[in-house]
Chain A
């Protein structure tokens, strides 16, 4: 029986395969190896204090990260992606760069949603400044990443400072992309990818 992709039921076997796949065991292996090295090099006392630090850090971070996942899940559901794409296509120039930066900032989801969106933009004729500004903004200022990673791990002051400093940078990158003396035309990129109907 084919599974409905929009079914609210979770495909547990697939999900567990993904979360406890090879990369998980690599992380476990590296952590174990480093623990052994730490014990061998620094001795039992320093090892015990490292374990204590790790335990403190995890207890401190995990509840926030869990809440952050809930925020990210709802943002992903609530933001209208199709309307954003149409809006970006209609705007160009400096204003386009600002809009592209704002769009990148609010695009929810990881690279698996941002890059296909970028390809759709490229295929629909957005200029290279817009494309570079959009993806730079998503990477640098993506609200979801800030909520999930920056704030819980680095604190609110640091996150805010990083966001404020980063805010003009996608526009700088977009201007540079427009000025660079390259014969990069978008015809060189693969044919447009149709959004899923």
Chain B
């Protein structure tokens, strides 16, 4: 078992103990919320992962490696950022795609640019939540403020992985 899995399992046990020790409804509410979220997410996630697995099988590996691989440098960061901007959906698709791209040979800087681009733009959130709750002026301001972030993150990652 790798460290990431270990941390998650340990955190689950630790938080369950903390919630239980409060002796109020925290433990039941926490478990209930976990169960609800798992049931809401897992069915879609399973099929998103299956779909992403097939997509990556269909995209020839040399294309992923050429545009997003370790030799792709700044091009990979730009391609990754743009791909991230264009994913108008929640984490299910974004992370399934990222995991599949990683398996297909995409480099760390390109993947970081991809996930950063997706997190800060996420068009579906803008339409569903941001415009109705904060107005289009705020959205315009925020979009321009976060525009450089995916490229910036990718370049820092490229620099850090080079040294």
A35 contacts B3, C-beta separation under 8 Å: no
CB atoms of A15 and B40 under 8 A apart: yes
- Taking CB atoms and an 8 Å cut-off, the chain A residues in 44-101 that contact chain B are 46, 49-50, 53-54, 57-58, 61-78
| Contact mask for chain A residues 142-174; partner B; CB cutoff 8 A; 1 contact, 0 none | 000101111111111011011001100100111
B85 close to chain A: CB less than 8 A = no
Q: Provide the residues of chain B in CB contact with A19, threshold 8 Å.
A: 39-44
With a 10 A CB-CB cut-off, give which of A42, A53, A70 has the most chain B CB atoms.
Answer: A70
On whether the beta carbons of A172 and B4 are closer than 8 Å, the reply is: no
Tell me whether B68 is interfacial, beta carbon within 8 Å.
no
Q: Closest approach, in angstroms, between the C-beta of A149 and any C-beta of chain B? A: 4
Contacting pair A118 B119 (CB below 8 A) = no
**Tally of B interface residues using CB under 8 Å:** 83
Taken together as a complex, chains A and B put the C-alpha atoms of A111 and B42 apart, in Å, by 18
Whether the Cβ atoms of A50 and B54 lie closer than 8 Å is yes
- Least distance between B44 CB and chain A CB atoms (Å): 5
Instruction: Give chain B residues whose Cβ lies under 8 Å from the Cβ of A119.
Output: 133-134
Contacts A41-B58, A158-B108, A158-B111; is A50 near B42 (CB within 8 Å)? no
- Determine the chain A residues whose CB is within 8 A of the CB of B99 once the complex forms: 57, 61, 153-154
Tally of A-B Cβ pairs under 8 angstroms = 275
Instruction: Give the residues in chain B near A106, CB-CB below 8 Å.
Output: none
Contact partners of B79 in chain A: CB under 8 A: none
Determine whether the beta carbon of A162 is less than 8 Å from that of B49. no
Q: Is the CB of A58 within 8 A of B49?
A: yes
Among candidates A8, A64, A75, A136, residue contacting B4 with C-beta atoms closer than 8 Å: A64
In the assembly, what is the distance between CA of A166 and CA of B156, in Å?
Answer: 10
> Which of B103, B125, B135, B157 contacts A161, CB < 8 Å?
B157
Point out the residues of chain A lying under 8 angstroms from B116, CB to CB. Answer: 140, 162, 166, 169
Complex contacts, A49 vs chain B, CB 8 Å = 57
Contact of B112 with A by CB under 8 A: yes
Closest-by-CB residue of B relative to A14 is B36
What distance in Å separates the Cβ of B17 from its nearest Cβ neighbour in chain A? 10
- Shortest B61–chain A CB gap in Å is 12
Distance from A135 Cβ to chain B, minimum over Cβ atoms (Å): 7
Given contacts A172-B152, A188-B135, contact A162 B112 (CB under 8 A): yes
B128, A111: Cβ atoms closer than 8 Å = yes
A137 CA / B25 CA spacing, docked (Å): 30
C-alpha spacing A26/B41, complex, angstroms: 14
Please, how many angstroms separate the alpha-carbon atoms of A188 and B5 in the complex? 46
Shortest beta-carbon contacts, A-B, top 5: A73-B34, A156-B4, A74-B15, A34-B54, A115-B129
Q: Given A58-B50, A65-B41, A190-B135, 15 more contacts at CB 8 Å? A: A35-B54, A37-B54, A42-B57, A46-B57, A73-B29, A73-B33, A119-B133, A128-B138, A135-B142, A140-B149, A150-B95, A151-B8, A156-B7, A173-B142, A189-B135
